[in-house]
A and B are shown apart, each in its own frame.
Chain A
Amino acid sequence: MRVDERLFGALICLLGVVVLWHSAGFPEVAEQYYGPAMFPSIIGWGFVISGTWLFGAAVRRSGASRGLISFPDWRGSWRGAVSVVLMLVAILAFIYLGDWVGFQILSFVTLVLLYLTAGRGVLKSIAIAFAVTLCLDLLFSKLLRVPLPSGLLTDFPRLI
């Protein structure tokens, strides 16, 4: 995904304004000149100046009008596009369903879907996904003792 520099400059400038506006609401510290708003305000002004600069330079440079947002990576690659959507959905699934469904099931399902999307066969996808999930579970749960949530598998006897 590529964003045109004119739009990017304008967005950076807007971010600066938002930072300045938000920081203006920070309290002042009694008997102290420099409160919590000072540093974010400097950053905010930095965004406003550099965003305006980027916008101005892009406007001067740009000849024929182009799209403000383009997706050069996505052309002709439905597998890639589906994989990326799957990735984003998987991350959200881990965040919202992680505790309930559990790491092992989510990891296995995500891997199977990603391998299938990449064009691997069903059996091969299941086998590799199972092996990878098992290795990561062993590494983090057993060796490093990270309490990965097991969710639905909590009450099932562990494989290992």
Chain B
Amino acid sequence: MDYLVPALRLVLQPDTLWAVMLASLFGFIVGALPGLTATMAVALLVPITFLLSPLAAIASIVAASAMAIFAGDIPGALLRIPGTPASAAYVEESYKLTLAGRGGYVLGVNATCSMIGGVIGTAVLILAAPLLADVALSFSAFEFFWLSFLGLSCGAFVAGDAPLKGGIAMLVGLLISTVGMEYSSGFPRFTFGNPNLLEGVSFIPALIGMFALPEILRSLLKGAAVISASGAKVTDDWKSVFSSIFRYRRVTLRSSALGTAIGILPGAGADIASWISFAVAKRFSKEPKKWGTGHIEGVIAGSSANNAALGGAWIPALVFAIPGDTITAIAIGVLYLKGMNPGPAVFINNADLVYAVFLVFILANLLLLPFGWVAVRLAKVVLGIPRDILMPALFILAIVGAFAIDNDFSGVWIMLCLGVIAYVLEECGFPIAPIVLGIVLGKIVEQNLVQSLISTQGNLLGFFERPVSAVLGVVTILIWSWSLLRWARRRLRGAASEPTG
């Protein structure tokens, strides 16, 4: 409570409020355009936030991501094309409702459920993060090693449906994290004599390269696509919106809780939260026959869960510097840049800023409702922006953004190299999120591994001597064993079903 008044004062600074407004608008535009993700919005936004105050920078990331996830629902409802992958689960139900002339109702439900999910995710963040941080203050290198390794394992095995490809992507990220001076000896690794690489691969240009460049490339390759939403009718129906959400209040609360919990898992973000909550709501629905015909229950479940996941993902990010999803991976980079180093000590060293970030979360989520109301009216204008006009502009923005981080064209090089690598990997079915996790967690894993090994003189049993460390170690080993067993079972089943003659 001591921090609440100074935190509120920070949030009410004009630059923070402006950042929230403008970032929401930017998030809305990128989120509403099909194919462009909330992560891309945040990656492109970071260079612009670079010179803002720490809180305004974080506020813009929070606002842009929350708005982009909501805005992704708009083309889903109006065009049957999800704006972001997080809206894909319930696009069929939304679109069928729009065809029945209830577009305004669906978008109203989207905005309201996004707000409720976002506020519940934030409430869990506010309650859980300081408690976890208290516990984490007693953590040593062993616990941090297992936590970061657990994060990597989840990212590679749990979130993806192709663990081998996820694992390779993670190794690529880890390799990138080793570039630069080694932390204990200062020996330059994989720099090939380039002084720009001594500090490591610059994170933000790498992210712009991996998330923006492949998307722009793909869009240009496919040629111009002008999307028209002229057929859709959008009229307000807020009375029905609130009565539906009240009727399905248990679904709203359950999906928000589930979304938050999934958001906490490293590597599993809003996309997976939305799919799982949709599936759970369908499984326990009292009206199973209505599903697939334009039923609002699925829309409520997915919209609540994907915004709730955003808040959940910040818990491991703030407390352990382990990202819950790609957006928080970027946010961690920004927190470091702004001197707000994430970890349990952030609640002591930067308490007022952390509480200000919490308040910004609440503000950004509450704003979803009025902004959503305006956004629904702007939807057709944004959806009408021709892709061949927008993409070249975003391309130049990406170049300038990569340059602006260090005021140096080496950032543009990094953007190009990692953009090409990410494009080829994605085309070959490799996920990109484990690469980002690898880059963020690589240094943490290595430092804590080396420190732990030095303190135990190479004895691996020492990694299981402290109780929390032992539990984390066992969980990590179980995840690996479960993934390998699942793979072996699939192989055996495949062999058994093959014709023998």
Interface residues, chain A, with chain B CB atoms under 8 Å away = 1-3, 5, 8, 12, 19, 22-23, 26-27, 29, 32-36, 38-40, 43, 46-47, 50-51, 53-54, 57, 73-74, 77, 79-81, 83-84, 87-88, 90-92, 94-95, 98-99, 103, 107, 110-111, 114-115, 118-120, 128, 132-133, 136, 139-140, 144-148
Give the complex CA separation of A8 and B421 in angstroms.
12
User: Which residues of the other chain, B, contact A114 by a CB distance below 8 angstroms?
Assistant: 220, 391-392, 395
Q: Complex: how many Å from CA A139 to CA B15? A: 15
Residue pair A3, B389 in contact (C-beta under 8 Å) = no
Which of B165, B171, B187 has its CB near the most chain A CB atoms (within 10 A)?
B171
A1 touches B220 (CB 8 A): no
Determine the residue in chain B with the shortest Cβ distance to A139. Answer: B48
Measured between beta carbons, the chain A residues less than 8 angstroms from B450 are: 34, 38-39
Cα separation A95 to B449 with both chains bound (whole Å): 38
Contacts of A34 in B (CB 8 A): 450, 453-454
Given known contacts A19-B175, A95-B412, A107-B396, is B189 in contact with A81 (CB within 8 Å)?
no
| Cβ 8 A contact of A32, one of B184, B220, B400, B445 | B184
Instruction: For A81, give the chain B residue with the smallest CB separation.
Output: B221
| Contact partner, A1, options B222, B412, B427, Cβ 8 Å | B427
Known A54-B165, A87-B217; further 19 A-B contacts with Cβ < 8 A: A2-B428, A19-B175, A26-B187, A29-B184, A33-B454, A34-B454, A39-B449, A40-B189, A50-B164, A73-B221, A74-B221, A77-B222, A91-B415, A98-B412, A107-B400, A110-B395, A111-B396, A119-B224, A120-B389
A contact residues around B396 at 8 Å (CB):
107, 110-111, 132-133, 136
B189-217 contact mask (Cβ, 8 Å, vs A): 1 or 0: 11000000000000000000000000011
Among B248-256, B276-284, B360-368, B402-410, the stretch that binds chain A is B402-410
**How many angstroms between the C-alpha atoms of A50 and B175 in the bound complex?**
14
A–B Cβ pairs within 8 angstroms, 14 of them: A1-B424, A34-B454, A39-B450, A40-B190, A50-B168, A77-B222, A80-B221, A87-B217, A95-B416, A99-B409, A107-B399, A115-B392, A146-B400, A146-B403
User: Closest CB of chain A to B483's CB: distance in Å?
Assistant: 13
Bound Cα distance A31, B251 (Å): 60
Q: How far is the CA of A110 from the CA of B397 in the complex (A)?
A: 12
> Contact at A84–B412, with CB atoms within 8 Å?
no
Pair B184/A115 contact, Cβ less than 8 Å: no
With known contacts A27-B185, A54-B168, A144–B51 Cβ distance under 8 A: yes
Select from chain A the residue with minimum beta-carbon distance to B420: A88
Q: A140 contacts B400, CB within 8 Å?
A: yes
CA distance A95 to B399 in the complex (A): 10
User: What residues of B have a CB within 8 angstroms of the CB of A73 in the complex?
Assistant: 218, 221-222, 427
Most buried by A among B178, B184, B388, B396: B396
- Asked if B48 and A115 make an inter-chain contact with CB atoms under 8 angstroms apart, the answer reads no
Distance A145 CA – B393 CA, assembled complex (angstroms): 20
Chain B residues near A148 (CB-CB < 8 A): 400, 403-404
Indicate which residue in A5, A128, A147 contacts B428 across the interface (CB closer than 8 Å).
Answer: A5
Q: Is B223 an interface residue, CB under 8 A from the partner?
A: yes
Closest residue on chain A to residue B188 by CB atoms: A36
Residue B423 lies at the interface, judged by CB distance under 8 Å to chain A: yes
Residue of B nearest to A147 (CB): B407
- Contact between A36 and B189, CB atoms less than 8 A apart: yes
Complex formed: what's the CA distance from A115 to B187 in Å? Answer: 47
Interface of A is mostly: helix
User: Which residues does chain B contribute within 8 Å of A87, judged by CB atoms?
Assistant: 216-217, 220, 395
Given A27-B187, A120-B388; A53-B221 close (CB under 8 Å): no
The docked-state distance in angstroms from the alpha carbon of A79 to that of B407 is 33
Contacts of A57 in B (CB 8 A): 164
Residue of B nearest to A132 (CB): B393
Q: Using Cβ atoms and an 8 Å threshold, which residues of chain A touch B221?
A: 73-74, 77, 80-81, 83-84
Does B242 sit within 8 A of A, measured CB to CB? no
CA of A150 to CA of B388 in the docked complex: distance in angstroms? 27
- The yes or no answer to B237 lying at the interface (CB within 8 A) is no
| Those 7 A-B pairs whose CB atoms lie nearest each other, nearest first | A118-B388, A80-B221, A36-B182, A114-B392, A83-B220, A146-B404, A39-B446
Which residues of chain A have C-beta atoms less than 8 A from B403's C-beta? 94, 98, 103, 146, 148
Q: How far apart are the CA atoms of A111 and B397 in the complex, in Å?
A: 11
B311 close to A (CB within 8 Å): no
Once the chains are docked, how many angstroms separate the CA of A79 from the CA of B457? 61
Cα A34 to Cα B113 with chains together (Å) = 51
A43 touching B175, Cβ below 8 Å: yes
- State in angstroms the CA–CA spacing of A99 and B409 once bound together: 9
The reply to whether the CB of B50 lies closer than 8 angstroms to some CB of chain A is: yes
When C-beta atoms are compared, the residue in chain B nearest to A97 turns out to be B409
Q: How far is the CB of B167 from chain A (nearest CB, A)?
A: 6
Q: Is the beta-carbon distance between A115 and B388 smaller than 8 angstroms?
A: yes
Question: How far apart are A117's CB and chain B's nearest CB, in angstroms?
Answer: 9
Nearest residue in B to A54 (C-beta to C-beta)? B164
Indicate if B174 sits at the interface (CB-CB under 8 A).
yes
